[in-house]
Amino acid sequence: MKNLIASVKIAITSQLYLKDPESSELGLKIVHKGIDLINSIGFEEFTFRKLGLEIKSPEASIYRYFENKHNFLLYLNAWYWGWMEYRLLIATSNVVSAEKRLEKAVFLMTEGVQNDPNFHGIDLVKLQEIVVAEASKTFLNRRVDKANKVGAYQSYKDFVGNVASIIKEINPTYRYPSMLITTVVEGAHQQRFFAEHLPRLTNKQPKPHYLSKFYMDLVLKTIKSN
Amino acid sequence: MKNLIASVKIAITSQLYLKDPESSELGLKIVHKGIDLINSIGFEEFTFRKLGLEIKSPEASIYRYFENKHNFLLYLNAWYWGWMEYRLLIATSNVVSAEKRLEKAVFLMTEGVQNDPNFHGIDLVKLQEIVVAEASKTFLNRRVDKANKVGAYQSYKDFVGNVASIIKEINPTYRYPSMLITTVVEGAHQQRFFAEHLPRLTNKQPKPHYLSKFYMDLVLKTIKSN
DNA sequence: ACAAATATGATAGTAATACTATTACTTTTG
DNA sequence: CAAAAGTAATAGTATTACTATCATATTTGT
């Protein structure tokens, strides 16, 4: 088997899979084509049977990697936030000004992937679209506490923790950094969805980066005065 | 049949049901017990078969009122926002100061139902819990455009429109009122959920109304300066 | 008061989903 | 080169998300 592991590997708790999908060709195919399929038909319509037809492998083979489609979505979500942590690290290292680092973080949280659209063979544009449209389903259900216990949301928490410490640098007395960050992350996702489907619930602007500007303005005003 | 319609009726597009559930005893039972059941087992686990067992009526009878459980959730959501509009109207009428009206609106959007817990026989505390935990599923799916066309989100849009016009009164040049409001509404829902299940993603405080204070502060700072 | 319309109950049936199980074949590896 | 591990092929099950049919009960208009 050729080496499938590149220099940077996104670490994901082994509790989310039965067998590491990055350890075999079939596993990688499941992830890559799974992203394509969820992106094209949506998570509700997505089944392992359909994915099996796509990759020309039986449904049962996919079940050897993931217990069910919910865990597959948890896996993709964890991978996404692991990758976001990595991007945050790169974007902020060697930047002295905390405010500049915060700006980079907000940009990452609110804007779509642009360059670097492929990493470890994963289509990052599609993966991000999945996270925007489906990620809230990873926690808005009765399995959330169990999933949390096995570390399903660890990389998301770490990301939020990292941005929170930037805010603490800027204003050490500010009491709600995590609340503010998750409001921005989930808010930005919703606004992007609304802009496409329910425009009256948002205020789409023609100018580039209006979303990150809106949220950056909101964050700075909120944490600075008082 | 006795009169089931009280003085104020929440108007809901007839496209969301096959037969108006407020027009019969069975219909009301479906709605009341349906709220109880979704609240207790979650929307994924909820089926019309289970609800049928609860109300001792066959599954098929429920299908005469709602095409499927997704439309049932849309109906509950529409009802909730219709009721919120009504609450907003009551809370803001005869209040001269726009800022005071905005404060009341933010309070409604971010705090849990407290008094008035029963309206038309509907358990509003449970209904609100359902909206917090499940409402995003009403639009985060492939049927959103179809549902939007038949007016499923009308009362939510109206509510947002009403609050937006208060913001416009305070700052007529502010460009993102709807974006700001939906960020607050969806954000507050998420924070309440996080406080219970993923505490590291929020900053829960022991003091009362910390959520509405956080969001009121955020809104005022955002719309005022500049 | 009574026929017609309407609402509900009882029951059955179907296609698809979300899995589990078994056995056979094919690679990889020590 | 044999044992172990991975994959394919196939079949089977319980549940879900409906649809259909027919009998019975209730309401309604005249």
Amino acid at B207: K
- Write the residue in A182, A198, A222 that is nearest to B218 by C-beta: A222
Q: In whole angstroms, what separates CA B188 from the centre of its chain? A: 12
Specify which residue's alpha carbon is closest to the C1' of nucleotide D20: B60
The nucleotide closest to B19 (CA, C1' atoms): C7
Residue B207, CB half-sphere, CA atoms under 13 Å: how many? 7
How far is Cα A41 from Cα B91, in angstroms, rounded to an integer? 43
Could you give the 3-state DSSP secondary structure of residue A29? helix
User: What's A115's domain CATH number?
Assistant: 1.10.357.10
Within 10 A of A90 (CB to CB), how many other CB atoms are there? Answer: 11
According to the model, what pLDDT value does residue A9 have?
82
Helix axes B154-170, B210-224, angle to 10 degrees: 60
Q: Which residues of B touch A177 (CB under 8 A)?
A: 203
Q: What is the pLDDT of residues B73-128, one digit of tens each?
A: 999 999 999 999 999 999 999 999 999 999 999 999 999 998 666 788 899 999 99
Contacts of A144 (CB under 8 A, 6+ apart): B197, B198
pLDDT digits (tens, 9 = 90+) for A149-207: 999 999 999 999 999 999 999 999 999 999 999 999 999 999 999 999 999 999 999 99
CB under 7 Å from strand C:
A 1, 45, 47-49, 58-60, 63, 67-70; B 19, 24-27, 56-61, 64
Distance CA A109, CA A111 (A): 6
Work out how many domains chain A is built from and give that number. Answer: 1
Residues of A in contact with B156 (CB under 8 A): 201
Is A38 inside a domain boundary? yes
Considering only alpha carbons, which residue of chain A is nearest residue B45? A142
Q: Residue B90 falls within a domain, yes or no?
A: yes
Q: Is residue A69 part of a domain?
A: yes
* B44: nearest CB among A141, A203, A221: A141
Q: What domain range includes position B122? A: 14-224
B9 within a domain of the structure (yes/no): no
Assess contact for B168 and B174: CB atoms under 8 A: yes
Q: A1 in a domain, yes or no? A: no
Crossing angle of the two packed helices A69-92 and A98-110, in degrees rounded to 10: 150
- How high is the pLDDT of residue A119? 79
Place A7 in a pLDDT band, splitting at 50, 70 and 90. Answer: low
pLDDT at A171: 97
pLDDT tens for each residue of chain B, 226 residues long: 333 334 678 889 999 999 999 999 999 999 999 999 999 999 999 999 999 999 999 999 999 999 999 999 999 999 999 999 999 999 999 999 999 999 999 999 999 998 666 788 899 999 999 999 999 999 999 999 999 999 999 999 999 999 999 999 999 999 999 999 999 999 999 999 999 999 999 999 999 999 999 999 999 999 987 6
C1' (C17) to CA (A43) span, angstroms: 14
> For B75 and C14, how far is CA from C1' in angstroms?
28
Q: Are A90 and A35 spatial neighbours (Cβ–Cβ below 8 Å)?
A: no
Interface probe, candidates A203, A213, A224, chain B, greatest B C-beta count within 10 A: A203
DSSP A187: H
Residue B2 lies in a domain: no
Residue of B nearest to A163 (CA): B201
Residue B183: other Cβ atoms inside 10 A:
26
Q: Measured between beta carbons, which residues in chain B are less than 8 angstroms from residue A134?
A: 140
Q: Under an 8 A CB cutoff, do A145 and B197 touch?
A: yes
| Residue A7 belongs to a domain | no
- Nearest nucleotide to A44 (CA to C1') is C17
How far in angstroms lies nucleotide D14's C1' from the CA of residue A182?
40
Distance, CA of B94 to CA of B79 (rounded, Å): 25
Residue A91, domain member (yes or no): yes
Condensed to tens digits (0 to 9), the pLDDT of residues A115-155 reads 666 778 899 999 999 999 999 999 999 999 999 999 999 99
Distance A10 CA to D7 C1' (A): 26
pLDDT attached to residue B119 = 80
pLDDT of residue B1: 31
Which residues in chain B touch residue A187, judged by CB atoms under 8 angstroms apart? 182-183, 186-187
